[in-house]
């Protein structure tokens, strides 16, 4: 459904303007990504409205998207899975925020500190299907580390001076969600590498055994 809508949009654009035919696949991917992102944003805002706190939905989107764009992390294999995952992450962040709201401030600070350390160390994690240049990689690292260095102290200062308790809770939960997706992505990559190495080793051993038996 999403791909069909994207094809209609790209077809309309090509019909209305002189676009480079060789870049049609790029426009198609851009249209699909835009529609997927817009759908996730709208659904999260609707969920936040139903849960009675639209502000938390807006803050989650602001933090999550700001970190995810340069920082990367786990990417679902299909747009449908991405939609489900993003909404599930929001619901989990909302629940964590509610728990933090009634927990001692030290709990929130520990969660925020550990999440920031994880993001600082791991980010950026590029999408394997869309690799970036070394220059872009270094730029994204600087951006993410800058946000970690500036955002968290600013939120904590705002809580201290202006009692941004609710804002601090959703910010901490959102940053934790970003960190969790990065950690999960790293573990998935490690598991895939281990499986690939194991399969390659087994294949070589089988070929070797086949040669030995053939020589006999």
Look at the chain and report how many structural domains it folds into.
1
Q: Is residue 168 part of a domain?
A: yes
Q: Is residue 8 part of a domain?
A: no
Q: Alpha-carbon distance 150 to 51, whole Å? A: 30
Answer whether residue 141 shows pLDDT above 90.
yes
The dihedral built from the CA positions of residue 82, 83, 88 and 89, taken in this order, carries a sign that is: positive
Backbone angles phi, psi at 23, to 5 degrees: -105, 15
Q: Is residue 170 part of a domain?
A: yes
Segment of 82-86, 194-198, 203-207 carrying the highest mean pLDDT: 82-86
Q: Is residue 120 part of a domain?
A: yes
> For the chain, how are helix, strand and coil distributed in percent, rounded to 5?
85, 0, 15
pLDDT digits (tens, 9 = 90+) for 148-192: 999 888 887 887 777 778 888 899 999 999 998 888 877 765 555
Strand partners, 72: 125
Q: Alpha-carbon distance 116 to 197, whole Å? A: 32
Q: Alpha-carbon distance 25 to 160, whole Å? A: 50
Q: Alpha-carbon distance 149 to 14, whole Å? A: 44
Q: At 20, is the secondary structure helix, strand, or coil?
A: coil
Q: Which of 120, 107, 179 is nearest to 149 (CA)?
A: 120
pTM to 2 decimals? 0.76
Q: Is residue 135 part of a domain?
A: yes
- DSSP assignments along 67-102, one per residue: HHHHHB----SSHHHHHHHHHHHHHHHHHHHHHHHT
Q: Is residue 36 part of a domain?
A: no
- Looking from the CA of 47 toward its CB, the CA atoms found within 13 Å total 22
Q: Which of 60, 10, 57 is nearest to 33 (CA)?
A: 10
pLDDT digits (tens, 9 = 90+) for 82-137: 888 899 999 999 999 999 988 888 888 889 999 999 999 888 887 777 778 889 98
For the record, the structure tokens of 181 come out as: 């997706």
Backbone angles phi, psi at 72, to 5 degrees: 70, -150
Q: Is residue 158 part of a domain?
A: yes
Q: Is residue 71 part of a domain?
A: no
Q: Alpha-carbon distance 137 to 93, whole Å? A: 28
Name which residue leads in pLDDT, 208 or 8: 8
Query: Range of 108's domain?
Result: 97-215
Q: Which of 26, 97, 87 is nearest to 61 (CA)?
A: 87
């Amino acid at each position: 459904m999403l791909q069909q809508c994207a094809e209609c949009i790209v077809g309309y654009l090509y019909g209305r303007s002189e676009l480079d035919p060789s870049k049609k696949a790029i426009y198609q991917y851009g249209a699909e990504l835009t529609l997927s992102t817009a759908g996730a944003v709208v659904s999260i805002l609707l969920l936040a409205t139903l849960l009675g706190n639209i502000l938390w939905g807006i803050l989650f989107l602001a933090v999550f998207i700001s970190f995810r764009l340069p920082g990367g992390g786990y990417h679902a294999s299909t747009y449908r899975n991405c939609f489900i995952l993003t909404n599930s992450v929001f619901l989990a962040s909302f629940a964590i925020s509610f728990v933090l709201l009634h927990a001692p401030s030290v709990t929130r600070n520990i969660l925020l500190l550990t999440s920031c350390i994880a993001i600082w160390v791991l980010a950026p994690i590029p999408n394997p299907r869309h690799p970036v240049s070394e220059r872009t990689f270094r730029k994204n690292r600087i951006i993410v580390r800058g946000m970690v260095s500036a955002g968290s102290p600013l939120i904590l200062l705002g809580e201290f001076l202006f009692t941004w308790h609710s804002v601090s809770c959703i910010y901490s939960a959102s940053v934790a969600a970003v960190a969790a997706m990065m950690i999960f992505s790293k573990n998935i990559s490690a598991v895939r590498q281990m499986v690939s190495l194991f399969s390659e080793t087994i294949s070589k051993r089988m070929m070797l055994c086949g040669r030995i038996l053939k020589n006999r």
